[in-house]
Structure 1
Amino acid sequence: MTETRPLQVQSLKSACSECSVLELCLPIGLSGDEVQRLDKLIVQRFKVKKGAALYRTGDPLRSLYAVRIGSFKTSMVSVDGREQVTGFQIPGEMLGLDAISADIHACSAFALEDSEVCPIHFAQLEKLSQSLPSLQHNLNRLLSREIVRDQTMLMLMGNMNSDERLAAFLLNLSQRLNIRGYSSKDFVLKMRREEIGSYLGLRLETICRGIAHLRDLNLVVIAGRNVKIQDMAGLKQLVAGCNRPAML
């Protein structure tokens, strides 16, 4: 079991206007003056060590957290005590939206590597968004994205076989990394195979068989945590179900 280490809080100010993921985060599309007003809500950014919890299930809602550096997983504990991974977040994505409806966090967020987040006090954010329609629009867009993600997961779990689920996961991660300026074909998985399996609703051995099958199809090679997509078009065809046997 991973030892949980505390957050490292440092008085390090990082202006939104100078952030490398500005165009992917909450300030997207805001004017310079509006970005400065939002920037005043971020008093200091947090460094979160690998394995540490940013927040836990049941914690009260205080802030939303924009991932600036690194990556996170969100998870819940099932009734039988097992961890259920609900998502993976990378730079430019927001953590903490799960707590808005009930004012407490429905899941926990753990750093998959040494990471850094920008906390945005939620009550102050709500107040500011009342005078900045563009900011309110961006917040609504983030909430909508969460709904779409949940719907996509339901479709994935209900309509795709295990190989298609794994292919869809790799393709989604590839696309998100590419938007951030990274290679879409060569990247490193920050999460363990068990965590991928939990997210996709698959057992570890099924994930391992799926990795071998994608390799045999000359679509993807995964060595350790290093991923090399060899046939992007073929991977998309697999996700679309083009290689699925016809029903009789």
Structure 2
Amino acid sequence: MLIPITRGMQIMSDAKPSQSHYLKSACSNCSVLELCLPLGLTGVEIERLDTLIMQRLKVKRGAALYRAGDPLRSLYAVRIGSFKTSVLSIDGREQVTGFQISGEILGLDAISTDLHACDAVALEDSEVCPIHFAHLEKLARELPSLQHNLNKILSREIVRDHDMLMMLGNMNSDERLAAFLLNMSQRLNTRGYSSSSFVLKMRREEIGSYLGLRLETICRGIAHLRDQGLVAITGRDVNIMDLDGLKQLIVGCQRHLK
């Protein structure tokens, strides 16, 4: 369902009208300012960027922010909550390609072709700031610091893709699971949350899809980490008992955790 936004912007959501709505937005007052697109911008530059984000969008758990094949209209800065991105394989199965949390950008997949290459679905009740891409490009030409930030974000996505390929090619199943948990730990810690105790918003099947592992392999891996006294996982609640020990499982692969 297309929902019109002020100044001609539009955002796609398959949520019902009662499931999502818009809120006023202000980059300067955002709790994830230092993790998002405005990072390093001056006060005046942030104010100019703020004019592109007229309103925020709430997305209910399970609702799609956009679907594969939808035209590029906006990039979306995750303000609250989390999302998964995924594509469909030839046989119709879902392949999870990433998990995005607050301070990260969704929609970069559409820049090259002007069409989204994947689905982006909320893992929990979430909130995003839509940034009209054509307007963002224009402002970036006027603000070198903003263009620099865009380049850094795009480069970071490329590095993550490379790291994922390296992980799938070089790590065994326990190492992949350890790397995933450490990655979540570090990302959440950067946002002011506990690095040792957190809740996974995704299902184990989704983690397995992302890591290229079957569900039963994920369950065995969790048991192996528990038996080694490294991690205790009950349902979606994670408690890392030995952070250094968990890191030792992937010695030589630390750069894949960025």
Same fold (TM over 0.5): yes
Q: C-alpha separation between the residues in 2 aligned to 1:134 and 1:19?
A: 19
SS at match of 1:81: coil
Aligned to 2:156: 145
Q: Distance in 1 between matches of 2:22 and 2:85?
A: 26
> Which amino acid is 2:197 matched to?
D
Query: Which residue in the other structure is 2:195 paired with?
Result: 184
Amino acid at match of 1:85: V
Q: Which residue of 1 aligns with 2:131?
A: 120
Give 5+ residue unaligned stretches, structure 1. Answer: 243-248
Question: Of 67, 72, 80, which aligns to 2:78?
Answer: 67
Map of 2:38 onto structure 1? 27
1:197 and 2:214 matched: no
Inter-partner Cα distance in structure 2 for 1:143 and 1:9: 28
Q: Residue by residue, what CA displacement relative to the aligned partner does 1:108-154 show, whole Å, maximum 9, x if unpaired? A: 00000000000000000000000000000000000001000000000
Secondary structure of the residue that 2:24 maps to in structure 1? coil
C-alpha separation in 2, matches of 1:154 and 1:6 = 37
Measured against aligned partners, the alpha-carbon deviations of 1:35-73 in whole angstroms (never above 9, x if no partner) come to 000000011110000000000000000000000000000
Q: Letter of the aligned partner of 1:5 in structure 2?
A: A
Alignment partner, residue 136 of structure 1? 147
> Following the alignment from structure 2 to structure 1, what is the Cα–Cα distance between the partners of residues 200 and 16?
24
Residue type at the aligned position of 1:216:
D
Alignment partners' CA distance in 2, 1:31 and 1:161? 45
- Separation in structure 2 between the aligned mates of residue 91 and residue 37 of structure 1, nearest angstrom: 22
Distance 2:47 2:140 in 1: 13
| Structure 2 CA distance for aligned equivalents of residues 216 and 97 of structure 1 | 40
The residue number in structure 2 matching 1:227 is 238
Q: Does the CA contact (< 8 Å) of 1:164 and 1:241 recur in 2?
A: no
TM-score by length of 2: 0.91
Distance 1:27 1:153 in 2: 27
- Alpha-carbon RMSD across the aligned residues, in angstroms, is 1.2
Q: What's the TM-score, normalizing by structure 1?
A: 0.94
> Is 1:5 the counterpart of 2:7 in the alignment?
no
> Quick one: percent identity of the two aligned structures?
78
- Determine if the alignment matches structure 1 residue 89 to structure 2 residue 89: no
- State the alpha-carbon separation in 2 of the partners of residues 114 and 237 from structure 1: 35
Q: What is the aligned length?
A: 239
Distance (Å, rounded) in 1 between the aligned partners of 2:209 and 2:252: 22
Any idea what SS the aligned residue of 2:55 has?
coil
Match of 1:103 among 114, 129, 141: 114
SS for the counterpart of 2:120 is strand
